[in-house]
Amino acid sequence: MRLSGFGPLVRRAASLLPASLSRAFGRPAALFFHGVEVGIDDSRVQSNHHNASSFADIAKCLKDNFDVLPLAMLSDVLREPRRHSRAIFLMSDDGYANTLTNAADILACFNLPWTLFASTQHIDTRERSPVFIARLFFLFAPDGEYSIPHLGSVHLGEAREEIADRLGGKLKSLETSRAEEAVEAMRTALPDFETLLERFDSDAFLTWDQVRELKRRGVEIGAHAHRHWAMHPDQNADYVREQAVLSRARIEAEVGACRHFAYPFGNIADIGPDAWRAVRDAGYEYAFTTLSGTLDASTNAWLMPRYGLRAEEPRLASLIPSLRLGNGRLAAWQKVIAG
């Protein structure tokens, strides 16, 4: 999980503030994770997944120190945020199969409610995320020179992880059709692609039957766009609108009501003005970014803050109240993007 420059600031503040003193600074907050695996084979590839034992430690900390609430209570909390200063809303993005086989059981042991934000095209087809495929290429394609559409010449040999980070960022900035051409070229350049999919089955997506099972177990299901790709300003307005509308329609057709949305990637560069308006107009009550802050700071219901949980969070009880440090950045960005 990649963190912005804001992350070190928050962690520094948390290291200076004992948990016992942090309560007075607390405000409601949203947290998210992606997948949970019993064992991590290669953290370079499986950076979206928590080790199950570390995730259980996080769940215990949340249970012991906060009031983890179902997302249906968000409106009530926002009306009186000071009264709900320890309120936490826990969420999972993407829709990996291991949220059912691992995360759901751990959270059930602590009786913690949570919301799953699913990218519906990947549930429909079980196609892996484009970013995941690209990372496999950068890390495992044979040494050599490759011509990748819209990325240019890519030399793979040394420093592959640095190349994956740098060109992965460039890839995410592409308009969707161009990104798809680039990713397809990467996929065909991997002679052992199917073997790698089997090795890294942590990134396999849920089926609709599995999503329904999570719903039956009390998990709220929200939309994470139809295709897991950024809704940034360079995207066609019709495409952005489809991502908001189609994902909700698919979830409602398969499992029932869909009231909330989370933006793929979700940082400043990943969300354009058309995106939040499309989400609003599609009828979602709230939508979530990956910018840190506390929920009472948000003046735009479709640009709400969230904090992405790291692989390990030894000072989480102090860190969450420190998320208030991000409120100024969040408010300034909301003002700009709202025009």
pLDDT in tens, 250-271: 999 999 999 999 999 999 999 9
Torsion, CA 329, CA 332, CA 333, CA 336, rounded to 10 = -170
Provide the pLDDT for residue 3. Answer: 40
Q: Which CATH number fits domain 23-125+205-338: 3.40.50.12500, 3.30.365.10, 3.20.20.10, 3.20.20.370?
A: 3.20.20.370
Provide the pLDDT for residue 106. Answer: 98
pLDDT in tens, 148-174: 999 999 999 999 999 999 999 999 999
CB neighbourhood size of 257 (10 A): 12
Which of 124-133, 239-248, 330-339 has the weakest average pLDDT? 330-339
104 near 217, Cβ under 8 Å?
yes
Structure tokens at 99: 């949220």
17 CB-side CA count, 13 A:
21
Q: 222: which residues sit within 8 A by CB, 6+ positions away?
A: 71, 91, 115, 116, 117, 118, 251, 258, 259, 260, 261, 262
Provide the pLDDT for residue 338. Answer: 87
Q: Is the pLDDT of residue 61 over 60?
A: yes
Q: Is the pLDDT of residue 1 over 50?
A: no
> Percent of the chain scored above 70 by pLDDT?
93
Q: Kindly list the domain boundaries of the chain, sorted by start residue.
A: 23-125+205-338, 130-199
89 near 74, Cβ under 8 Å?
yes
67 near 10, Cβ under 8 Å?
no
- Note the Cα 226 to chain centre separation in Å: 14
Instruction: Provide the sign of the torsion angle of the four alpha carbons 45, 47, 48, 54, taken in this order.
Output: positive
Average pLDDT over residues 201-211: 98
pLDDT in tens, 74-97: 999 999 998 999 999 999 999 999
Secondary structure (DSSP) of 281-325: HTT-SEEE-S----GGG-S-TTSB--EEPPS--TTHHHHHHHGGG
217 backbone dihedrals φ, ψ, rounded to 5°? -85, 5
Average pLDDT over residues 191-199: 97
Provide the pLDDT for residue 298. Answer: 74
Helical pair 327-338 and 273-281, crossing angle rounded to 10 deg? 80
Provide the pLDDT for residue 320. Answer: 94
pLDDT, the chain, mean: 94
Residue with more model confidence, 322 or 264: 264
> Percent of the chain scored above 90 by pLDDT?
89
Euclidean distance between CA atoms 43 and 138, whole angstroms = 14
Q: Is the pLDDT of residue 71 over 90?
A: yes
What Cα–Cα distance (Å) separates residue 257 from each residue in 226, 260, 261, 262, 306?
16, 9, 12, 15, 22
What Cα–Cα distance (Å) separates residue 204 from each residue in 99, 140, 207, 286?
10, 18, 10, 27
272 near 233, Cβ under 8 Å?
yes
112 near 70, Cβ under 8 Å?
no
Indicate the pTM of the whole model: 0.94
339 — pLDDT class (breaks 50, 70, 90)? confident
145 three-class SS: strand
